[in-house]
Amino acid sequence: MFTQLTEQLTTAMKSFNNADQFTTAMKPFNSLVEINTKTVEQLINQQAALITTIMNDSVAQTKSLSEQTDLATAIESQKVFTEELQAKVTASAKEAYEVVTKTSEEVTSLVKDSMVEATTISQ
């Protein structure tokens, strides 16, 4: 499969008459790479922030629990911690979904624009 793709790319490259045609043809691909890179960076940063928050909160909760002398208070503290943790994970999942949805819309728009441009050029 990789060999076939390489052959197709080589054939396409030979069909360009000059550097401007190549640059124009590669523009959508470069845009796609930029969009994907930006998306991956956003998702990595979001996940890193979530993991950092979870770790810091867990350390604080462990310290708090180790200082508790009343079982009922400790259980209530753990319940509150768990609910807050669940809310943070849910919010992070929603943020990730929004990033992926926005990226999907950007890619769809890029493909549509590229198709319109290709149709216009070929006419």
Q: Write the pLDDT tens digit of every residue in 20-47.
A: 666 666 777 888 889 999 999 999 999 9
Looking at residue 86, its pLDDT comes to 98
Q: Write the pLDDT tens digit of every residue in 53-85.
A: 999 999 999 999 999 999 999 999 999 999 999
Can you tell me the mean pLDDT for 87-94? 97
**In 25-43, which positions are buried (b, 16+ CB within 10 angstroms) versus exposed (e)?**
beebeebeeebeeebeebe
Higher pLDDT, 75 or 116: 75
Does the structure show a pLDDT above 70 at 91?
Answer: yes
Q: Which residues contact 65 (CB under 8 A, 6 or more apart)?
A: 74, 77, 78
Helices (H) and strands (E) in the chain, counts: 3, 0
Domain boundaries, the chain: 28-122
Looking at residue 18, its pLDDT comes to 62
Looking at residue 4, its pLDDT comes to 63
Contact criterion met (CB below 8 Å) for 13 and 22: yes
Looking at residue 114, its pLDDT comes to 78
Mean pLDDT of the chain: 85
Contact criterion met (CB below 8 Å) for 100 and 39: yes
